[in-house]
């Protein structure tokens, strides 16, 4: 064990006194309200420990990453009352923490185990305790990312409890701490959902629906682990456009937005196989019926809105479009706020022979944040082209609006 010099001993004694007085403690960090910023030299850990432990009445807290700094070595977890402030939470016995830079869980050891997705600027990391076995000295500790549970671990709890803690280890790191945060389980959220929108989707593989949110729940280890969500209804002249917002880019932002035939393979990203076309967020490429993409537009990130639609020739009728569906009850607005309604091709393209109107070729267009990115012609397969979203890395989550131009 290292011998402490006088200054270190004095600091340790002051930290112990603060802990005994129920005061929050921190080292190599600057605190301003609920903001914490790292003030060390990147060789030394800075750590914050709250003044009071989590309890049944206050069982959850959340940390928002304001700045990731140089390395993003931010840790969120629970520690004993007298935890050393020169160690990351999770490194020492009786502590546990989720580390943002590598997505690993550290449970009383400096060696972590793979646990969840990495976290970066803008992400919220939550930590809470279950109350089932709290009085027996054993409890479940769970972690969340952006309001979704990542995983849990069962740990021993002393009579003094476990205290919220945040660790930082590189220049520029800054977080916002909310010790009064509330978190509802997914089950609780779904009970409050009046309209789950699950009926909007005809096929779901490796994707979970929660209201208008689609969350990737696949393994994300190989190209065969594609998560696919395909709408129940194809795009028509009444409903010709849809959008998604990237709520969480996950580990690699392998998110694709496009159109595909009804019988499209479940383990293929839209655009990879015939009868499909898609704009891919991670590289900005367009894929049209093959595994190699072409440069098309900018990459997309968290917060970006991607859109896809069809410009139909005048007089075009899709198979079964006369059947009643949700789109028939929607009224197209002539001027939507973000995207111009391009239902039909321009006048020059409308002047066509009666025989040409039987052609099944349409123009598919894509948008990013309300601006047109580009367009591609393709032949509509029998049955139509269905809105199709693909995802392929852990933590990805998107919000889908199948009728953004509807009244």
**Does one domain contain both 241 and 375?**
yes
CA-to-CA separations, 160 to 54, 157, 321, in angstroms, rounded: 10, 8, 66
Which residues lie below 8 Å from residue 370, measured CB to CB, with a gap of 6+? 305, 307, 337, 338, 339
Pair (151, 270) in one structural domain = no
- Same domain? 154 vs 265: no
CATH of the domain at 217: 2.60.120.920
Within this chain, do residues 162 and 221 fall inside the same structural domain, yes or no? no
The domain boundary residue, chosen from 155, 184, 213: 184
Q: Are residues 120 and 199 in the same domain?
A: no
47 and 91 housed in the same domain = yes
Range of the domain at 34: 19-184
- Are 179 and 201 contained in the same domain? no
Quick check: helix, strand or coil at residue 351? coil
Q: Which domain-ending residue is among 184, 203, 238?
A: 184
Other CB atoms within 10 A of residue 302 CB: 18
Say how far apart CA 393 and CA 246 lie, in whole Å.
Answer: 13
- 175 shares its domain with 199: no
* pTM of the complete model beyond 0.85: no
The tokens describing 240, both together, are 């010709």
Final residue in a domain of this structure, among 184, 213, 241 = 184
User: Do 380 and 239 share a domain, yes or no?
Assistant: yes
Walk along the chain (407 residues) in steps of 10 and give the mean pLDDT of each run: 52 55 88 95 94 89 95 97 96 96 96 94 92 69 91 88 96 95 57 54 91 89 92 93 94 96 93 97 96 96 95 75 44 39 46 50 95 95 95 93 77
Total domains in the fold of the chain: 2
What contacts 24+ positions apart, CB below 8 Å, involve 349-353? 349/313, 350/313, 350/314, 352/313, 352/314
pLDDT number for residue 10: 57
User: For the segment 342-384, what is each residue's pLDDT rounded down to a tens digit?
Assistant: 544 444 444 444 444 346 899 999 999 999 999 999 999 989 9
Whether residue 305 contacts residue 244, with contact meaning beta carbons closer than 8 Å, is answered with yes
Burial state string for 69-102 with b = 16 or more CB within 10 A and e = fewer than 16:
beebbbbbbbbbbebbbbbbbbbbebbbbbbbbe
Kindly state whether residue 336 falls inside one of the protein's structural domains. no
CA dihedral 355, 357, 362, 363 (to 10 degrees): 100
pLDDT at 319: 57
Does one domain contain both 201 and 158? no
User: Is 337 contained in some domain?
Assistant: no
At residue 56, the pLDDT reads: 81
Task: Return the pLDDT at 153.
Answer: 93
Residue 55's pLDDT is 87
Predicted pLDDT of residue 75: 98
Instruction: Assess whether 247 and 379 both reside in one domain.
Output: yes
């Amino acid at each position: 064990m290292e011998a402490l010099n006088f200054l270190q001993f004095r600091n340790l004694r002051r930290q112990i006194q603060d802990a005994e007085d129920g005061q929050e403690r921190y080292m190599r960090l600057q605190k301003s309200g609920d903001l914490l910023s790292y003030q060390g030299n990147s060789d030394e850990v800075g750590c914050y420990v709250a003044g009071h432990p989590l309890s049944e009445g206050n069982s959850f807290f959340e940390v928002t990453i304001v700045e990731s700094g140089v390395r993003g070595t931010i840790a969120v977890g629970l520690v004993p009352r007298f935890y050393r402030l020169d160690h990351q939470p999770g490194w020492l016995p009786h502590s546990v923490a989720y580390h943002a830079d590598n997505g690993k869980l550290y449970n009383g050891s400096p060696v972590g185990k793979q646990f969840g997705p990495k976290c970066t600027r803008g992400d919220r990391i939550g930590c809470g305790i279950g109350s089932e076995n709290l009085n027996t000295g054993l409890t479940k500790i769970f972690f969340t990312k952006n309001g979704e549970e990542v995983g849990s671990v069962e740990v021993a709890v002393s009579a003094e409890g476990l205290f919220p803690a945040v660790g930082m280890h590189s220049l520029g790191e800054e977080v916002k701490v909310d010790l009064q945060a509330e978190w509802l389980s997914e089950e609780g959220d779904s009970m409050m959902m009046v309209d789950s929108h699950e009926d909007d989707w005809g096929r779901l593989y490796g994707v979970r629906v929660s209201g208008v949110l689609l969350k990737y729940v696949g393994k994300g280890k190989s190209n065969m682990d594609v998560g696919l969500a395909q709408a129940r209804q194809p795009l028509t002249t009444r409903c010709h456009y849809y959008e998604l917002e990237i709520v969480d880019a996950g580990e690699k932002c392998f998110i694709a937005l496009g159109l595909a035939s009804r019988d499209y393979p479940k383990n293929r990203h839209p655009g990879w196989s015939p009868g499909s076309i898609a704009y891919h967020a991670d590289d900005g490429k367009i894929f049209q019926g093959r595994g190699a993409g072409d440069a098309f537009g900018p990459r997309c990130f968290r917060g970006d809105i991607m859109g896809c639609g069809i410009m139909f020739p005048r007089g075009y009728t899709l198979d079964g479009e006369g059947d009643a569906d949700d789109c028939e009850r929607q009224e197209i607005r002539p001027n939507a706020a973000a995207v111009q309604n391009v239902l039909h091709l321009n006048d020059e393209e409308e002047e066509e022979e009666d025989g040409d109107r039987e052609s099944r070729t349409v123009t598919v267009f894509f948008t990013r944040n309300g601006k047109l990115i580009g367009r591609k012609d393709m032949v509509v397969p029998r049955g139509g082209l269905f809105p199709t979203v693909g995802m392929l890395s852990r933590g990805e989550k998107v919000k889908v609006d199948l009728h953004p131009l509807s009244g």
